[in-house]
Structure 1
């Protein structure tokens, strides 16, 4: 998880990154939130709501899915 978010922040400048809700069941965690950001590569701003699904096996992340409302 730490590496995943490190990579996100390495490519985007966030003025806002809010986790609104975390939902856990078994080996799955769903995070719902909103962000306002600017691409470090292009300088283009964007914002939107998002959902991220994290799937764990033996205590380690093995799959991640992201969903955005553009």
Structure 2
């Protein structure tokens, strides 16, 4: 596929997440999708594989993390790789603590489907916001 089509698939993926249209989202990802969210001590960290785990982590995100995107992300692509660069703000519901997360998603698109997502996020900010004791710094 062309780089432009790969970027459009990734943009469609983010649109489907934003509106959480599960059917539309799953149509954009391979059956064996792998989404790696780094970190420890915050609700979404881990490696999530397949449609069921993808749906589960997105459901968990909606229940545990408030997210807003103060500006549109930037898309940079070469071949089957699309990098998405952005900022998320919000809070962890369990602690009511805010976070500010500069992030990059490294996404692979093959045969018209997203096959792999590797997030690079501010794990420290998210872990601090997830702590149940002590102030956020």
Does residue 53 (structure 1) correspond to residue 106 (structure 2)? The answer is yes
Residue number in structure 1 paired with 2:62: 10
Return the TM-score normalized by structure 1: 0.73
Equivalent residue in structure 1 for 2:78, among 6, 22, 25? 25
Q: Using the TM superposition, give the Cα deviation of residue 53 of structure 1 relative to its aligned residue in structure 2, in angstroms.
A: 0.9
Structure 1 runs of 4+ with >4 Å offset: none
The residue matched to 1:32 in structure 2 has which SS? strand
| Structure with the greater alpha carbon radius of gyration | 2
* Structure 2, gaps ≥5 residues long: 1-12, 21-57, 126-137
Stretches of structure 1 that go unaligned for 5 or more consecutive residues are none
- Where is the strand percentage greater, Structure 1 or Structure 2? 1
* RMSD over aligned Cα atoms: 2.2
Q: Higher helix share goes to which structure?
A: 2
**Alpha-carbon distance, 1:13 to partner:** 1.5
Aligned to 1:40: 93
Q: 1:62 aligns with which of 106, 115, 119?
A: 115
TM-score (norm 2): 0.42
Aligned pairs, number: 68
CA–CA distance in structure 1, aligned partners of residues 94 and 108 of structure 2: 29
